[in-house]
Structure 1
Amino acid sequence: MASAVSELSKHFKLRDLGSTTLLLGIQVKQDRSHHTISLSQEHYIKELLERFNMDDANPLSTPLAPGSELSDIIPSLEDQAEMKSQCPYLNAVGALQYLATMTRPDIAYAVSYLGRFNSNPAPAHWLAVKHLFRYLIGTMHYKLVYRASDSQELFTTYSDASHGACKATGRATGGYVTLASGAAVGWSSKRQPFVTLSSTEAEFVAAVEAGKEIKWTRNILTEFGFPLTLPSTLFVDNKSGISVAKNPEHHGRMKHLDLRFYWLREAVEEGLIDPLYVSTHEQVADILTKAVAKKVVEFAVPLLGLE
């Protein structure tokens, strides 16, 4: 550390302020005795709850009500007026987006889902935002904890999709999470840009997005001096999707898809990615594709590295 600071000082004006403890609203704690680094935004969450008058609400156990489906129905003029005057929907979702992006993968789906209604939210959508705030009340202490690991594989990735999850468009929601040193380092939850015709297609498209993240992670690790010679594991809970990625003879199932989705098959053939099956009950990325029940949240949270 001292040598790096000394070398940088030859080229830039700098001051050594010691170990980082706060960066862009993220609390950073290093425990050298236990070889851990933790990232949290507890102070940020407290400020959000006070800002939106939710600090005295009772906590809930899920980011969204399990199985909840919000509609795109245009609210009445009376409801629109009430939303504009009393419900700062856009401000709340925007503030939550930063939290979901930086340290809280467990709320990524909820924030992405609520963001679909930014243009014209109704009272039901605001109630869902308040539900998410109430989940944060009970989990504001959560932090991503990275630990020293002797695993031969520097990182692993999970991808999942919920076919036809959006009732308004028929599109699936895809998600992935990359885990390294015991916690999430990259994650995504997005509605897919087109309608897929089966769960296999939806899973394959989600795997492609995860594969791109894997490729980027491999590249940056190589730049950091950790070149990877073995393929990176991608866990998928759909055997048909894995077959399409591994076997050219299954091309007929996907020949109508855009050519860019064939990239995954080439990455598998080149030995960069190794898709493996994981049961739905062990699929960490499930929390990134739908509003799940309490037991699924409790299963996923520790595997995401949150504690």
Structure 2
Amino acid sequence: MAESRRRVWVSQPLFDDIIGRLGEYFDVRGAAEVQAYTAAQIAAHLRGSDGAVVTLNERIGAAEIADAPRLKAIANVGVGYNNLDIPALDAAGIVATNTPDVLTETTADFGFALLMATARRITEAERWLRDGQWRQWSFSSMLGVDLHGSTLGILGMGRIGQGIARRAAGFGMRVLYHNRHRVDAAIERECHAGYVDFDTLLASSDHLVLVLPYSPAVHHLIDAAALAKMKPTATLVNIARGGLIDEPALAQALSRGHLAAAGLDVYEGEPDVRPELLALRNVVLTPHIASASLDTRRGMVSLAVDNLIAALGEGPDAGRPATPINPGVLAIAGGDRKTTAIKR
């Protein structure tokens, strides 16, 4: 009797033609509509599954995998993965993957667009126009701050940070950055960027963009003390993770004129946004869409699918997913990552 096909769960509707590739190898169970799951519902879907494709909306930790002995791989659609408890997955021998690189340039595009919208008060000006206030125009209406000739600070000089730095060159901006480790001199030259310490970055930046990965070590890195070191004319843009910013402290700084404006694509409690931020006119708010171009989102899903197929020991790259988060699990599972080492 033929062995039944292994089962994978796809947590959200994605692109049917790309997800369809999983059907060559697995029994695919997926959501027909966008879902907001409870922890118990996620656990129920993982129970009996061998693999899963999930998004940043699904938080998966020890409780969600406790009753999922067959689960061997989770493919996260996103470069960030703070929705996954990696130590818990490590302990259970579950490979996790993410989707870096494919979204780098698109996210850098959006980061620069959000920076421009913030500095030049674009969304505030649109609301002002739509509200019929243009008739109250004066020469000082909707004055923003310049990008050209200003100092851009980048906190986190990974691929996306480097992409933003390259774009800044076209605006004649001076680029400073701070990173956990200084990048290679060749990258600094390519990006026309200079390394400074954290406090100098805060004090020197006319515009500060956050592009660093989230971890508990950098939770609320931008707090009241950090905001107090910034120029009152400065802008702050976050396209990384919401937990990097103490949002009540940010709202207070913005409302008291200690910071000119902020542009936020990510929030600590998303999809909920703090009412004090919603009430401010000098904040540009977008719903976590930095990677939201059609080609890029398709590329992210395609990489996630390829990762899951490979992590479950199938396809041309069997046993070798392109972008594992915890490659040590693969090593433990099979040393040289032979297909048979991971395949059930």
Structure number with larger C-alpha Rg: 2
| TM-score w.r.t. length of structure 1 | 0.25
**Higher-helix-fraction structure:** 1
Q: TM-score, normalised by structure 2?
A: 0.23
- Asked which structure has the greater RCO (Cα within 8 Å, sep 6+), the reply is 1
